[in-house]
């Protein structure tokens, strides 16, 4: 922590990055840390390769997250909710990092390699037992005696709220609830965050959820509950991919299934897989995700498969998952 503070203190210009397809923890942690660092006089820029889903439009200063990196020299890159360069999805990320003086990585995903080996001034704050990156950012800001404004509280509470599935997943611990209580004391409201994130769906999106739920198949042998959404399903109903956030968690409520999988055909000719399970079911879905080139947590993980030539059907991927991993 002290090494991280030293890096920040010696850096005037800071660029904050996160992973591709940013989620609430990535966005909340970026915006919360940007606000905190600006309050002590740092010049801060935030970048995301992919657009910020519109459910997060309620967050303060969300428009400061840009989709273009300004090539001007910066001192410090802060990489949040993602410890591996490949997860940023940014082409040439290694070159960008090497043009900076310092790198700080803050993340809560399990990992088996470090990017710090090839970077001169690099500090990692990584704890896979922490519910969310937002909690790690909160601890750092507190250690730096940075005042937690209502805006910072709203951003970081959104990160904790989304990564704990609205304080329902097994990563919900006393530390995240204590942090949430601190944020509420600053004026942040869990009910408002919940409403913005979970209760702002279009009728078309709910109908598409219905189609996906209708399509669920379960496999009694391995315990998988699987469904899928094609690009044409989204096009036909005019639903954006971001409106599928949370759907896999509904599939995961089937108590007889050991784990759930949602396959989504993305815009960029990729098939995205989202895997979920529950502690009592005794499955580590990150093992499956890793074997398919992805990663994540034991009970919530994901992967992406290139499908540029549209050669793979959802059915083929489903079979491949069964053959390789179970």
Q: Which positions touch ligand 5GP (CB under 6 A)?
A: 87, 109, 274, 294-297, 300-304
Min dist. Cβ of residue 232 to Mn ion (A): 31
Binding residue count for Mn ion, defined by CB under 5 A: 5
* Residue 219: Cβ within 10 Å count: 14
Instruction: Identify which of residues 81 and 304 has a Cβ nearer to Mn ion in the complex.
Output: 81
| CA separation for the pair 230, 264 (Å, rounded) | 6
Instruction: Identify which of residues 75 and 88 has a Cβ nearer to ligand 5GP in the complex.
Output: 88
Partner from Mn ion, ligand 5GP, none binding residue 25, C-beta < 5-8 Å depending on class: Mn ion
Instruction: Identify which of residues 88 and 133 has a Cβ nearer to Mn ion in the complex.
Output: 133
Partner from ligand 5GP, Mn ion, none binding residue 296, C-beta < 5-8 Å depending on class: ligand 5GP
Min dist. Cβ of residue 101 to ligand 5GP (A): 27
Partner from ligand 5GP, Mn ion, none binding residue 294, C-beta < 5-8 Å depending on class: ligand 5GP
Tell how strand 65-66 and strand 295-296 pair up: unpaired
Residue number with the shortest CB distance to Mn ion? 25
Min dist. Cβ of residue 7 to ligand 5GP (A): 24
Min dist. Cβ of residue 109 to Mn ion (A): 7
Instruction: Identify which of residues 133 and 158 has a Cβ nearer to Mn ion in the complex.
Output: 133
Instruction: Identify which of residues 146 and 239 has a Cβ nearer to ligand 5GP in the complex.
Output: 239
Instruction: Identify which of residues 60 and 110 has a Cβ nearer to ligand 5GP in the complex.
Output: 110
Min dist. Cβ of residue 81 to Mn ion (A): 4
Min dist. Cβ of residue 259 to Mn ion (A): 20
Min dist. Cβ of residue 235 to Mn ion (A): 30
| CA separation for the pair 31, 35 (Å, rounded) | 6
Binding status of residue 81 toward Mn ion by CB under 5 A: yes
208 to 267, contacts with Mn ion by CB under 5 A? none
Q: Could you tell me which residues come within 8 angstroms of residue 132 by beta carbon, excluding any fewer than 6 positions away?
A: 25, 29, 81, 108, 159, 160, 162, 163, 164, 171, 176
Instruction: Identify which of residues 109 and 258 has a Cβ nearer to ligand 5GP in the complex.
Output: 109
135 to 174, contacts with Mn ion by CB under 5 A? 163
| CA separation for the pair 241, 235 (Å, rounded) | 10
Tell how strand 259-265 and strand 270-277 pair up: antiparallel
Partner from ligand 5GP, Mn ion, none binding residue 297, C-beta < 5-8 Å depending on class: ligand 5GP
Sequence length of the chain is: 326
Partner from Mn ion, ligand 5GP, none binding residue 303, C-beta < 5-8 Å depending on class: ligand 5GP
Binding site for Mn ion (CB under 5 A): 25, 81, 132-133, 163
């Amino acid at each position: 922590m002290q090494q991280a503070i030293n890096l920040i203190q010696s850096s005037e210009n800071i660029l904050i990055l996160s992973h591709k397809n940013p989620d609430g923890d990535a966005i909340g942690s970026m915006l919360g840390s940007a606000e905190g660092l600006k309050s002590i006089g740092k010049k801060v820029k935030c970048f995301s390769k992919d657009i910020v889903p519109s459910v997060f439009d309620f967050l303060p200063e969300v428009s400061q997250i840009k989709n273009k990196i300004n090539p001007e020299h910066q001192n410090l890159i802060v990489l949040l909710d993602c410890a591996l360069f490949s997860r940023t999805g940014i082409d040439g990320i290694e070159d960008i990092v090497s043009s900076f003086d310092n790198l700080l990585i803050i993340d809560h995903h399990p990992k088996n390699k470090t990017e710090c080996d090839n970077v001169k001034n690099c500090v990692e704050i990584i704890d896979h037992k922490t519910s969310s990156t937002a909690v790690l950012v909160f601890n750092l800001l507190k250690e730096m005696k940075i005042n937690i404004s209502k805006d910072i509280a709203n951003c970081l509470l959104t990160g904790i709220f989304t990564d704990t599935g609205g304080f329902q997943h097994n990563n919900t611990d006393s530390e995240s609830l204590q942090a949430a209580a601190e944020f509420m004391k600053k004026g942040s409201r869990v009910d408002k965050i919940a409403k913005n994130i979970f209760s702002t769906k279009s009728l078309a999106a709910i109908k598409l959820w219905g189609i996906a739920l209708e399509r669920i198949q379960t496999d009694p042998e391995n315990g998988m509950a699987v469904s899928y959404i094609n690009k044409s399903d989204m096009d036909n109903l005019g639903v954006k991919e971001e409106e599928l956030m949370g759907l896999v968690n509904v599939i995961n409520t089937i108590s007889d299934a050991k784990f759930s999988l949602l396959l989504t055909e993305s815009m960029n000719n990729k098939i995205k897989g989202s895997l979920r399970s529950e502690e009592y079911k005794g499955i580590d879905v990150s093992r499956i995700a890793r074997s398919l080139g992805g990663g994540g947590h034991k009970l919530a993980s994901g992967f992406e498969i290139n499908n540029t030539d549209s050669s793979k059907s959802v059915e083929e991927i489903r079979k491949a998952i069964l053959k390789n991993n179970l």
